[in-house]
Amino acid sequence: MPTILDFERPIRELEDKVSQLQSFSREHGVDVSHGVKVLEERIAEAKQKIFANLTPWQRVQLARHPDRPYPRDYVERLCTDFLELHGDRRFAEDRAIFGGFARMDGRAVMVIGTQKGRDLKENVRCNFGSAHPEGYRKALRLMRLAEKARVPIVSLIDTPGAYPGIGAEKRHIAEAIAVNLREMFRMHVPILVAVTGEGGSGGALGIGVGNRVLILENAYYSVITPEGCAAILWRDAAKAPQAAAALKLTSRDLADLEVVDEIVPEPLGGAHLDWDQAAELLGEALKRHLAELTRIPVDRLAPTRYARFRRMGILREG
């Protein structure tokens, strides 16, 4: 059973009508092509109308859509010869972050991604996409391998955030993220980041310090979850839709704030409707940016990465 969001319902109802008409046509040998054509036009119209006017909270719903392709789904479609590498060499293998060598468009890269599950069993394994310190330490280990192999790093992010748990604190998740932030600034290989679903605060940034940072059209990237923000400001998590609007977390908002460099388009209606097309659109952007980044002289990669983040912030002086 695919999940259908409230605002997707009018489209789904029209689509159901189309399939009813088609099965009627098959059973009774009646030509329904005109009816189907009319309905399909209405579907296209409804999609245009609904998806041009999504609220920030609706975008968050799309970003969290359980049928949305996750980073590993993109890797499967965009990479060949993926060689997954496991473990942080210190404590454990964290399934919430995966990574390894791969070839993208023929080019060798180190790909790193967060991992959500499709069902409870998978989600237990990967902790619903929320990494422990081990995930960040594994990611750093792999990034250092990328430096050694002199291949670019591609980081694909879809996480609700780093895990707020007892074990995570006991093994100092704050330090794991902080060290990643500092060390990612020192890497002498290109780092290309794309937020493909949820960009959950420090948990996303911990593998998100890139020379370029892209975001999918319906993804979001936020300093705090809308629910968390609502709980603090309104003392009511149900005010999440208001918080989502206030936080300016949509791809459009973030492009306006120059926090992201490019918005990657999704298939109309969202990436969950067509994984292959979504992957193709993301792949086009990744390949184009990788080609640009690999032309930057090696000794300019770290300084320009710092310069990118150095200008972040808006304030008044004097």
Partner 1 sequence: MPLFKKNRYSTLRGAARRGIPAGLWLKCKGCDGVIYRSRLEENLQLCPECGYHYPLTAQQRIELLTDKGSFTEMDGDLDSVDVLDFAGTGIYSEKLKASKKKTGMTEAVICGTAVLDEQRLALGVMDFRFLGASMGSVVGEKITRLTEFASENRLPLVIVTASGGARMYEGMLSLMQMAKTSGALAVHAELGLPYIVVMTHPTTAGVTASFASLGDVIVAEPGALIGFAGPRVIKQTTQSELPPGFQTAEFLMEHGFIDRVVPRPELRRELSLLLAYFSGALHCENAAAAV
In angstroms, rounded to a whole number, what is the distance separating the alpha carbons of residues 298 and 53? Answer: 43
Give the interface segment with partner 1, choosing from 12-20, 21-29, 71-79, 231-239 (CB under 8 A). 231-239
CA distances from 129 to 114, 120, 242, 272 (A): 6, 12, 25, 17
42 binds partner 1 (CB under 8 A): no
* The Cα angle at residue 221 between residues 254 and 213, in degrees rounded to 5: 65
Of positions 178, 255, 268, 296, contacts partner 1 by CB under 8 A = 178
In angstroms, rounded to a whole number, what is the distance separating the alpha carbons of residues 212 and 194? Answer: 8
Radius of gyration of the chain (CA): 21
- The CB-of-271 to partner 1 minimum distance in angstroms stands at 21
- The CB-of-122 to partner 1 minimum distance in angstroms stands at 19
Of positions 41, 45, 122, 175, contacts partner 1 by CB under 8 A = 175
Which of 193, 132, 110, 190 is closest to 158 using CA atoms? 193
Q: Which is nearer to partner 1, 17 or 308 (CB)?
A: 308
120 binds partner 1 (CB under 8 A): no
46 binds partner 1 (CB under 8 A): no
Report 133-172 residues binding partner 1 (CB under 8 A).
162-166, 168-172
91 binds partner 1 (CB under 8 A): no
Give the interface segment with partner 1, choosing from 41-49, 268-276, 289-297, 309-317 (CB under 8 A). 309-317
Does residue 235 sit in helix, strand or coil? coil
Which of 135, 142, 155 is closest to 94 using CA atoms? 135
Phi-psi region of 268 (alpha: psi -120 to 50; beta: other; left: phi over 0): beta
306 binds partner 1 (CB under 8 A): yes
> Is 125:102 a contact under the CB 8 Å cutoff?
no
Interface contacts to partner 1, rule CB under 8 A: 162-166, 168-175, 177-179, 181-183, 185-186, 201-202, 205-206, 208-209, 221-224, 228-229, 232-234, 242-243, 245-249, 253-254, 257, 259, 305-306, 309-310, 312-318
